[in-house]
Amino acid sequence: MSEPTAPESKPAPQSGPSPETRPSPGRSFLIADCGATNTTVALFDVVEGEHRLIARASAPTTTTPPWEGIMVGINQAIVRLSEISGRPLLTEDGELISPPEPSGAGVDIFGATISVAPPLQVLIAGLLEDVSVASARRAIQTVYAEEVDTFSMADDRDEQGQVQAILRHRPDIILLTGGTDGGDDSRLRTLAETVEMGVQLLPAGERPHVLFAGNRDMRPAFVSLLGSKTNTDVADNVRPSLDKEMLADAVRIIDKLYQELKIAAVPGIEDVVELSDYPPRATARAFATMIDYFAALYEGRVMGVDLGSGSVTLAMADAEGSKLYVRSNRGVGRALEQVWLEATRVEQLLRWLPYAHAAESVEAFVRDRALHPYSVPTAREELLIEQALVRHILRGVVQEAGESWSWPEGGSVAPPFQRLILRGRALTNTPRPGQTVLMALDALQPTGVFSVAIDRYSVIPALGMLAPHEPLAVVQILEGGALVEMGWVVAPSGRGEPGQNALRVVVESEEQDRLEMNVASGALEVLPLAPGVAARVRLEPERPFDVGAGPGRAREVDVSGGAAGLVIDARGRPLRLPRDDEARRDLVQEWRWALGG
């Protein structure tokens, strides 16, 4: 089966960070990212001939009462940005100054990315659960969406049950799919008739949009059946044949529908649209654009993780294409209550804590935390629980994505990547950089040799919005240090006997003394390598450990230091935590200490 591809445009290969790519007269950009909890505005301008991040500021997102207007929060963040940067951006009446004045006040370009809109409510109506329904599911996973119900041949409801489901859920869209192109369409026709019956029983104006992405031979019948009843769209069949998946066209239309039905309904969005030079974009898609961009830039596979307040986004891109998995109703803000409700075993969360905690006190914390999504931990115990939540939520979403993307071992083992980009305050704003890296390693359980960078300044969505329009500016902003480098990770695959040596690591650099270390199987170690220090690392694994050159085969890689140093994770995959409570807590604490506490 071919890989599903998202319809994101990739930056041109020549847009890499070469010295020749200097901008024409630079324009300034003010980009807002309106999240479920916070709105961040970032100002970019030309400094000494290069585009740079000038400043950023945040304010609460204001789409709920008493404000009910997204511009209130954007303006508040802009006011703070003006205070920080010393650059007037608003008139006395609160209007954005654009184009800029000769005094330097104002900006050239304004844009916004949005993740505060509620998820698209989607009902999937397909035939085979593992074929058309699975492909439809992968298509809707590329936007903020919630699958409210699924009709398939495995569904034991009769026609009336399915009609009642449409009436009860009142989805935003029904994604109708099934059948291979040119195949028998009788079952799909029956399904379409059921959908039509449910749709036409709803009052006009409240009927869902129906997107057809099934057997192309049935398109005329679909249009004739539903075209006069509600808004419809026709996309390429997501499974034109059993062994071929084709999502791009359906994904394009679903993204368009998300824009039309959800982003356009955000309170006050019309003011944002009027002000914007580019149409508002979903934050997840802007994030995915940047992961595509990095993949082109580094000529390798790049993984991106964005842990938000109300959603989690995973993006992966390489030369073959890109994948995007957006999980709504997951996150470290209001979504926490949902996370708790769906946590079948509280032990799954408690296992990440280095101390004994009563399940009841953890539950109280989680529910309390959901009430204050913007708050930050100021007590050690709360920090530990919050970081346990990050691991629990991310691990769950990674496993879902892995299953959807057909990763090996039932979706639990991610394919090796060269660079990992992390985003989201709870994940990246930690007291020590090692805590960020450790949370990512515990949740993703990656293998291979890769660098880690974090979006501490929360600018990736802004860059994703700019990338298609201003690729050179984006390269310069990244060169200017918009991301914070955490360092490199070596995570061999394979699992050895306890006490066995996993690999020998030799670090040579012109800027520091030679380092050499034997890393035991099951160990987690850090070698100091200061930010920006270039080094050549020789990795000599013992069998069965593999660092990308085959079991037991040595490899050399060029790396550079970062805030967390060079991390060697020989704990094996998947991670095995001891069953004994005390032993497990000791081990979790040991890992914390290994990465700096």
SS3 assignment, position 41:
strand
DSSP state of 290: H
Residue 489 CA from chain centroid, whole number: 20
Distance of CA 389 to CAs 307, 343, 548, Å?
11, 11, 31
User: Of 235 and 384, which CB lies nearer to another protein in the complex structure?
Assistant: 384
User: Of 273 and 371, which CB lies nearer to another protein in the complex structure?
Assistant: 371
- Distance between CA 209 and CA 189 in Å, rounded? 18
* Angle CA 88–62–87, to nearest 5: 10
Smallest separation, CB 116 to another protein (Å)? 12
Query: 566, 526 in Cβ contact below 8 A?
Result: yes
User: Of 9 and 64, which CB lies nearer to another protein in the complex structure?
Assistant: 64
* Angle CA 38–40–46, to nearest 5: 175
User: Of 200 and 501, which CB lies nearer to another protein in the complex structure?
Assistant: 200
User: In one letter, which amino acid is 13?
Assistant: P
- Structure tokens, 498: 């306890």
Distance of CA 36 to CAs 134, 174, 309, 333, Å?
28, 25, 6, 8
Which residue's entry shows tokens 């926490």? 336
- Structure tokens, 490: 């070596």
Give the residues lining the site for another protein (CB under 8 A).
Answer: 59-60, 62, 64-67, 72-73, 76, 159-160, 163-164, 167, 193, 197, 201, 341, 360-361, 363-368, 371-372, 374-383, 429-432
Smallest separation, CB 384 to another protein (Å)? 9
Smallest separation, CB 340 to another protein (Å)? 9
User: In one letter, which amino acid is 191?
Assistant: L
Q: Inter-axis angle of helices 359-371 and 380-404, to 10 degrees?
A: 80
Smallest separation, CB 275 to another protein (Å)? 18
User: Of 17 and 431, which CB lies nearer to another protein in the complex structure?
Assistant: 431
User: Of 58 and 521, which CB lies nearer to another protein in the complex structure?
Assistant: 58
Smallest separation, CB 408 to another protein (Å)? 37
Smallest separation, CB 192 to another protein (Å)? 12
User: Of 73 and 548, which CB lies nearer to another protein in the complex structure?
Assistant: 73
Alpha helices in 343-459, H assignment, sequence order? 347-350, 359-371, 380-404, 408-411, 425-428, 433-444
Smallest separation, CB 517 to another protein (Å)? 27
Smallest separation, CB 563 to another protein (Å)? 14
Smallest separation, CB 245 to another protein (Å)? 32
* Angle CA 170–176–179, to nearest 5: 155
Smallest separation, CB 191 to another protein (Å)? 13
Listed in sequence order, the residues at least 6 apart from 22 whose beta carbon sits closer than 8 Å to its beta carbon are 49, 50, 472
Instruction: Check residue 373 and give left, alpha or beta (phi > 0: left; psi -120 to 50: alpha).
Output: alpha
Q: Which residue spans within 429-500 are E strands per DSSP?
A: 448-454, 484-491
User: Of 383 and 594, which CB lies nearer to another protein in the complex structure?
Assistant: 383
User: Of 62 and 476, which CB lies nearer to another protein in the complex structure?
Assistant: 62
Smallest separation, CB 33 to another protein (Å)? 16
Q: What is the 3-state secondary structure (H, E, C) of 336-357?
A: HHHHHHHCCCCHHHHCCCCCCC
User: Of 380 and 536, which CB lies nearer to another protein in the complex structure?
Assistant: 380
Smallest separation, CB 587 to another protein (Å)? 22
Query: 463, 35 in Cβ contact below 8 A?
Result: no
- Distance between CA 17 and CA 496 in Å, rounded? 41
Smallest separation, CB 29 to another protein (Å)? 23
User: Of 322 and 435, which CB lies nearer to another protein in the complex structure?
Assistant: 435
Distance of CA 259 to CAs 255, 266, 583, Å?
6, 10, 50
Distance of CA 525 to CAs 434, 460, 555, 557, 596, Å?
11, 30, 19, 18, 10
Query: 501, 484 in Cβ contact below 8 A?
Result: no
* Angle CA 427–429–433, to nearest 5: 85
